[in-house]
Amino acid sequence: MTLAPVFLGSLARRRTATLFSFVAILLGVALGMAVQAVNQAALSEFGRGMRTMAGAADLQVVGPRGGFDEGLYATLAARSEVAQASPVLEMRTERIGSADGLRILGIDLFAAGPVTPALLPRPAEIQDGSDRDTRLAALAEDSLFLSMAAREALQVDPGDRIQVHAEDRTLTLRVAGDLPGAPDDPRLAVMDIAAVQKHFSRIGRLTRIDLRLAGGQDAQTARAALEPLLPAGLMLEVPEAAVDQAANLSRAYRVNLTMLAAIALVTGGFLVFSAQALSVVRRHTELAFLRAIGLARRQLFLWLLAEGALVGLLGGLAGVALGHGIALGLLTLLGGDLGAGFFSGLSPTLRFSPWASAAYVLLGIGAGVAGAWLPAREAAAVAPARALKSGDDSALSGGRGVPMLSLAMLTASLPACFIPPIQGLPLGGYLAIACLLAGAVMLLPTLASMLARTLPLRGPVPARLAAARLAAAPGQSVIAATGVLASVALVAAMAIMVGSFRDSVDVWLGQILPADLYLRAGRAQSAGSLDEALQARLGKIPGVARVQFTAFESLRLEPGRAPVELLARPVSPDGDGLPLVGSARPAAKGETQIWISEAMRDLYGWRPGERVLIPLAGDEVAVQVAGVWRDYARQGGAIMMDLADYRRLTGDASVQTAAIWLAPGADGIRVGEALKSTSDSGALEVAFPGEIRERSLTIFDRTFVVTYVLEAAAVVIGLAGVAASFAALTAARRREFGMLRHLGLTRRQIGAMLALEGTLAAGVGVLGGLAAGGAISLILIEVVNRQSFHWSMDLHLPWASLLWFAGLLVALAGLAAILAGRQAMREDALLAVREDW
């Protein structure tokens, strides 16, 4: 350990370069740790809530959102495999006049105790310790029991009354108590099941049945015996299935954010490479002396690796701490949402995971070691006698490109794109991105040499010197440009992908929102609906030319998968008006046809022209897939059906939303007020398509906030790499600058030469980064997004923004090179060449 001060102490002597490398690794680790911690906290809280509410239930009967016939409850309760059955009717609604959502569970208070005791309410009258039994008060039709988190979110106390949507009516409920055993869900409420069925027009309907099995019965055997009793569209699942479905839905989003953080970490590794390579250049005489006095080549190699490992260790430790801080902030601001809506409404608690933290620290160390490996190998290979020779600058020449290996890496990225997703993750796409990035970096010296040959041989002396240096030592351009290339590639790829995505979403919104006004009695997942009488009144409002209604339902097609959304609206036989992907194959006359989203095609393998079975109203219905449409709203898949077919097959005439076209000259605001007045309760909401579009794009932008932060960090890291590289290079080139001063160059001319060198080096990195970023963006669009989220998008290239960004980055790189070289330019010319005497 006697050599530790020599090697590890060098990190303190080159504080600027070490600091930039440290910060880059810190950011990469912190962002990855934050994403991991937030998602793990959200999943843990979600799972805890599901386990608490499931109680002693071994199995759960689940079905469509619209529910199923309650007659199944009596059938299952009478089975010998079942010790206790508890019926549940779940309704999602909203508080009138606000965006506060409520998840109301209607339960049988007498059946729920043995199965789900956590859902049993505590009436307000006995919270103070009174002995009077007021359990029957919970059976009152207007009694509502809230979790403590829901009471705080709604800012209500026992005895207060709140108004919520119920169909197209306003329902007034009394806060009658709380749920002492329920999870901390700010939207959870409980009522008597009969009251929920009455108020929400669900007489005879259930959405779930919780089953506690008889002694000696295992879940697998009981499931096999009970499943034949279930109507089509209903499934028996273990309570943990909902947690697995939530984890699967959020996994792709979480992994993609983690991979973006990994790119920031890779950029940090490039900075370590730059810093270590230039440190070797600056210390080549010192390292040669150590070799000459007996330090083995392998020992030198390992000590230089230890320098990179120490930077990675410190960056990893600090990154884990910062990541937990960022996670705490995200949980405070967004809950477990991460901007994508997977766990909205949860209030998870951050927990420290030693294994995850250790893994991210190891990633930081790995980035440091990987960055230091090549400079350490080259330093160990240098002959000590040559390096000790005064004036020897062989260490400054830099490496040469490896075009064949680079082309091999770039070529390997192509077949990697065709690797199918593994457990729903686009690992082949990630591999292709890694190959592209590595190939682009290895091609940098060749690219620098090609650029040097295109530069004019005449011109001002600083320009000719800068061009000559680029041609003679292209490897040094790699050192200065690796961080630039990685950061530009990340920014360009994300700018193209996000821009293409946003542009496609904008166009899609225009296609699915063709009407002048939209009306709803609640969100698609809520309890609001429009009955037939109200539907008829809407069409008679003065100023209304046409009304188109849409009904929503959820379908369960396969065990273990999230429910699929069914949308029923008027659709022409050829799908005119839908954002179709590919050609349509309409069904024959008399056949029922459906239109599926891209997610349905990928997840279930359905294709246009294929006949499939879907569960509707308890029966299996044969339908033909007529085509595929683009849907950015439902990751788990969606089916579109003509409203007339839906009503014929289900007998359900209710709808949830209405699209309204105005008559020529009609005032949209006045018509909107008239539409809302058709319901005496005022529960109807009217919105213009522009408002919906603006809200949707705001949600889109919020989803990519983390991406924008990563892009900004990448730019700062890239510029820091240029500054650190030129600071070390100029310090190592003191004799060169002294000789140039002896030959008559002024400090201003040397500064101009450095500015041009920085500009050229950054230009090489920017060109390589733009090319690599463009290719990576195609992989993100065509491979990663398709395999992760199952949607396509149209390519949109933001040329103006990219060119402006590239020009600004090159200019800033030139300025950074000047500022980094100021100290070397101030040194006296005579002292600079004294070592050559």
- Helix ranges (DSSP H) in 227-352: 241-282, 284-292, 297-334
**Residue 588's pLDDT band (cuts 50, 70, 90):** confident
Q: Find the mean pLDDT for residues 360-389.
A: 78
How does pLDDT run across 780-804, given as a tens digit for each residue? 999 988 888 888 999 998 888 888 8
Nearest to 631, CA basis, from 644, 640, 642: 640
Look at residue 53 in the predicted model and tell me its pLDDT.
64
User: Is-contact 423 320, C-beta < 8 A?
Assistant: no
Widest CA span in the chain = 104
Q: Is the pLDDT of residue 524 over 50?
A: no
**Residue 336's pLDDT band (cuts 50, 70, 90):** low
Over its C-alpha atoms, the chain yields an Rg (Å, rounded) of 33
Look at residue 413 in the predicted model and tell me its pLDDT.
92
Question: 635 to each of 453, 563, 774, 791, how far by Cα in Å?
Answer: 51, 10, 26, 8
* Residue 447, token pair as written in the block: 């690219």
**Choice among 306-315, 368-377, 479-488, 818-827 with the minimum mean pLDDT:** 818-827
**Residue 132's pLDDT band (cuts 50, 70, 90):** very low
Look at residue 41 in the predicted model and tell me its pLDDT.
72
User: Is-contact 639 557, C-beta < 8 A?
Assistant: no
**Choice among 53-57, 169-173, 189-193, 606-610 with the minimum mean pLDDT:** 53-57
How does pLDDT run across 292-306, given as a tens digit for each residue? 777 788 888 888 888
Q: Is the pLDDT of residue 340 over 60?
A: no
Question: 440 to each of 128, 274, 410, 757, 769, how far by Cα in Å?
Answer: 71, 16, 8, 20, 8
Look at residue 397 in the predicted model and tell me its pLDDT.
47
Q: Is the pLDDT of residue 649 over 90?
A: yes
Look at residue 389 in the predicted model and tell me its pLDDT.
61
Look at residue 228 in the predicted model and tell me its pLDDT.
92
Look at residue 644 in the predicted model and tell me its pLDDT.
94
Residue 258: other Cβ atoms inside 10 A: 16
Angle between helices 4-13 and 15-54 (to 10 degrees): 90
Whole-number mean pLDDT of the chain?
80
Residue 277: other Cβ atoms inside 10 A: 29
How does pLDDT run across 716-747, given as a tens digit for each residue? 766 666 666 666 666 666 667 777 777 777 77
User: Is-contact 323 29, C-beta < 8 A?
Assistant: yes
Nearest to 231, CA basis, from 624, 555, 568, 623: 555
Share of the chain above pLDDT 90, in %: 24
User: Is-contact 82 72, C-beta < 8 A?
Assistant: no
Q: Give the residue, 699 or 161, on which the prediction is more confident.
A: 161
Q: Is the pLDDT of residue 147 over 50?
A: yes
* Residue 491, token pair as written in the block: 């920014």
Nearest to 144, CA basis, from 200, 73, 99, 69: 200
**Residue 239's pLDDT band (cuts 50, 70, 90):** confident
Look at residue 720 in the predicted model and tell me its pLDDT.
67
Question: 270 to each of 21, 407, 721, how far by Cα in Å?
Answer: 8, 20, 9
Q: DSSP 3-state assignment of 428?
A: helix
**Residue 396's pLDDT band (cuts 50, 70, 90):** very low
Place of tokens 């705001």: 698
> Distance between CA atoms of 488 and 764, rounded to whole angstroms?
11
**Does the predicted model carry a pTM greater than 0.85?**
no
> Distance between CA atoms of 786 and 792, rounded to whole angstroms?
6
How does pLDDT run across 618-640, given as a tens digit for each residue? 899 999 999 999 998 888 899 99
Q: Is the pLDDT of residue 520 over 80?
A: yes
Residue 228: other Cβ atoms inside 10 A: 6
* Residue 154, token pair as written in the block: 């709604």
* Residue 128, token pair as written in the block: 């103070």
Q: Find the mean pLDDT for residues 634-656.
A: 91
Report which listed range, 65-79, 678-692, 812-826, is most confident.
65-79
DSSP 798: -
Q: Is the pLDDT of residue 545 over 80?
A: yes
Q: Give the residue, 523 or 302, on which the prediction is more confident.
A: 302
